[in-house]
Amino acid sequence: MNYIPDRNDLVLLDFDPTKGKEIGKYRPALVLSSKAYSKATGLLICCPISTSIRNTPTEVPITNLDKPSVVASSLIQTLDYKSRSVKLISQAESGVFEEVLIRLIPLITGDEYLNKLQN
């Protein structure tokens, strides 16, 4: 199968190797980038999904996986999906992608937006 990751896909992929506080292991992720980007570059932009729920403002709950999980919006990564053994799981349920963007955009635009999100 020549799967090409697309926006809003839930995929499994290998986040190892890691350094420092980066999230690792073979785990689910939410794809943020478009299929056109993935096809042109061989990369995907994603946020990892974790069952370790810390209730931080940047976590987005996701319910259509086997275990209660959250999208870790603050851990956005760009990865070579072919080298990371990517596999399609399904699509994120309605509203998850948008909620991730609501949490991600303040992280890259300035602290004043993050403060508004936390209040």
The three-state (H, E, C) secondary structure of the chain, written as one string: CCCCCCCCEEEEEECCCCCCCCCCCEEEEEECCCHHHHHHHCEEEEEEEECCCCCCCCEEEECCCCCCEEEEHHHCEEEECCCCCCEEEEECCCCHHHHHHHHHHHHHHCHHHHHHHHC
Q: What is the CATH number of the domain that holds 77?
A: 2.30.30.110
Q: In this structure, is residue 4 part of a structural domain?
A: no
Give this prediction's pTM. Answer: 0.87
Question: What domain range includes position 113?
Answer: 9-118
- Angstrom distance (rounded) from CA 9 to CA 116: 29
State residue 114's pLDDT score.
58
- Angstrom distance (rounded) from CA 26 to CA 66: 15
State residue 62's pLDDT score.
96
- Angstrom distance (rounded) from CA 31 to CA 77: 10
Number of domains making up the chain:
1
Q: In this structure, is residue 2 part of a structural domain?
A: no
The model's pLDDT over 25-48, given as tens digits with 9 standing for 90+, comes to 889 999 999 999 999 999 999 999
